Amino acid sequence: MMAIRELKVCLLGDTGVGKSSIVCRFVQDHFDHNISPTIGASFMTKTVPCGNELHKFLIWDTAGQERFHSLAPMYYRGSAAAVIVYDITKQDSFHTLKKWVKELKEHGPENIVMAIAGNKCDLSDIREVPMKDAKEYAESIGAIVVETSAKNAVNIEELFQGISRQIPPLDPHENSNNGAIKLGRQTSQTAGLCFTIFLNLQLHLLSVNISKKWTEFAN
Ligand X SMILES: Nc1nc2c(ncn2[C@@H]2O[C@H](COP(=O)(O)OP(=O)(O)OP(=O)(O)O)[C@@H](O)[C@H]2O)c(=O)[nH]1
Q: Are strands 41-50 and 53-62 parallel, antiparallel or unpaired?
A: antiparallel
Q: Report the residue number, 19 or 55, with the smaller CB distance to Mg ion.
A: 19
As measured in angstroms, the least distance from the Cβ of 137 to ligand X is 19
Q: Which of 5, 7, 8, 18 binds ligand X (CB under 6 A)?
A: 18
Q: Strand 81-87 to strand 3-12: parallel, antiparallel, or no bridges (unpaired)?
A: parallel
Binding letters toward ligand X, positions 46-75, x by CB under 6 A: -----------------xxx----------
Centroid of chain to Cα 101? 13
CB atoms within 10 A of CB 206: 10
Write down the least CB distance from residue 184 to ligand X, Å.
Answer: 27
Cα–Cα distance, 191 to 102 (Å, whole number)? 25
- Compare residues 65 and 202 and give the one whose CB is closer to ligand X: 65
**Secondary structure of residue 171 in the 3-state scheme:** coil
Among 17, 50, 74, 134, binds ligand X (CB under 6 A): 17
User: Could you say which of ligand X, Mg ion, none residue 18 binds, taking C-beta under 5 to 8 angstroms by partner kind?
Assistant: ligand X
Q: How far is the CB of 106 from ligand X (least distance, A)?
A: 22
Binding characters for Mg ion, 15-44, by CB under 5 A (x = yes): ----xx-----------------x------
Do 105 and 77 contact (CB within 8 A), yes or no? Answer: no
**Order of all β-strands in the sheet with 144-147:** 41-50, 53-62, 3-12, 81-87, 113-119, 144-147
Residue ranges in 102-121 that form contacts with ligand X under rule CB under 6 A: 119-120
93 lies in the binding site for ligand X (CB under 6 A): no
Residues 6+ apart with CB under 8 A from 53: 2, 3, 4, 5, 169, 170
What residues make contact with ligand X under the rule CB under 6 A?
Answer: 13, 15-21, 33, 35, 37-38, 63-65, 119-120, 122-123, 149-151
What residues make contact with Mg ion under the rule CB under 5 A?
Answer: 19-20, 38
